[in-house]
A and B are shown apart, each in its own frame.
Chain A
Amino acid sequence: GQSLEQPSEVTAVEGAIVQINCTYQTSGFYGLSWYQQHDGGAPTFLSYNALDGLEETGRFSSFLSRSDSYGYLLLQELQMKDSASYFCAVRMDSSYKLIFGSGTRLLVRP
């Protein structure tokens, strides 16, 4: 079967750095995406990694290690508005669907 594991909750202080990990077990792998979802809102695309390494987009960075079936999302200079749920999602080979993890709820404290 397919499975993605993320921590259920993470708490951090405003201005700090936080890392949200994602490990996956899927039959075939094409790439790893990250989405942000505020309460009552729609998921919004943050980043995508198809190759090993770090992708940086402003305060957010995403990392992938295909050999370890592992990725993470790094959020720097945390702001209160970053309080949301973060989902990793896998696209498998020869597939068009995204398989989402259960999400990590990030709480940013002042």
Chain B
Amino acid sequence: DAGVTQSPTHLIKTRGQQVTLRCSPKSGHDTVSWYQQALGQGPQFIFQYYEEEERQRGNFPDRFSGHQFPNYSSELNVNALLLGDSALYLCASCIRDNSYEQYFGPGTRLTVT
């Protein structure tokens, strides 16, 4: 049973560029959430997708956008990258209303220079 997978593992971008991160949820899961985790901090909720729609959003600017596909996989897009966007980006999946029990992927380490 495949768990949550994310790609790429690491990414280095320059300020002002755009980036797309990808996530495949755990088999049987239909809901995907994205989190940003700075070093030494807890994950911060970016948004959650269910049935291909953004169901809830955290306190992140519109530069952060996402998408969910019919097969439940998801993308996170970040435009106009800032140095402060450097972080570990985690994707988590769960079954619809069981958001208390989320399964996290290994993350994408984004470095903005």
Contact = CB atoms under 8 A, between A and B. Distances in A.
Interface of A: 4, 30-31, 33, 35, 41-45, 48, 50, 87, 89, 91, 95-103
A103 B43 CA distance: 9
B24 interface: no
Interface of B: 4, 31, 33, 35, 40-45, 48, 50, 55-56, 58, 90, 92, 97, 99-107
Task: State the majority secondary structure of interface residues on A.
Answer: strand
B104 A91 contact: no
Contacts, number: 63
Nearest to B57: A97
A98 B42 CA distance: 11
A98 B100 contact: yes
Contact of B100 (A87, A91, A100, A103): A91
30 contacts: A4-B42, A33-B100, A33-B101, A35-B104, A42-B4, A43-B43, A43-B90, A43-B92, A45-B102, A48-B100, A50-B100, A89-B42, A89-B100, A91-B99, A95-B56, A96-B33, A96-B48, A96-B55, A96-B97, A97-B45, A97-B48, A97-B99, A98-B33, A98-B43, A98-B45, A98-B99, A99-B45, A100-B35, A100-B44, A102-B42
